[in-house]
Amino acid sequence: MENAEDGIVLEDNGGKARYVLAGPDGAEAELTFTRVGEKQIIIDHTGVPDVFRGQGAGLKLVERAVEDARAAGKTVIPLCPFAASQFRRHPEWADVLKK
């Protein structure tokens, strides 16, 4: 499922899924997550190739995960160090952060 505004595609494989942002020469920035039951996801990895550096690609991926979790009434456990750091910088995401 692609969001036309941000170019991020959700690739869903059941329990595991990822958000992908395609770049030049086939490069992909990705955020992977695992579903835990019906109401929770664990963000376990954010990978951003050098071609995306300085463009906010990682933040865009985490924002998309937060938006989708919020819309679905899910909470997020950010195990990925990058995602966890973004949650600390964005207190407005507290409503989806698993306490």
Please give the backbone phi and psi of residue 34, each rounded to the nearest 5 degrees, phi first: -120, 135
Going along the chain from its start, the domains and CATH numbers come out as 8-93 (3.40.630.30)
Q: Considering only CA atoms, give the Rg of the chain.
A: 13
Q: Would you put residue 54 in left (φ > 0), alpha (ψ -120 to 50) or beta?
A: left
pTM exceeding 0.85: yes
2-46 pLDDT, tens digit each: 554 678 999 998 889 999 999 888 899 999 999 999 999 999 999
Q: Are strands 40-47 and 75-78 parallel, antiparallel or unpaired?
A: parallel
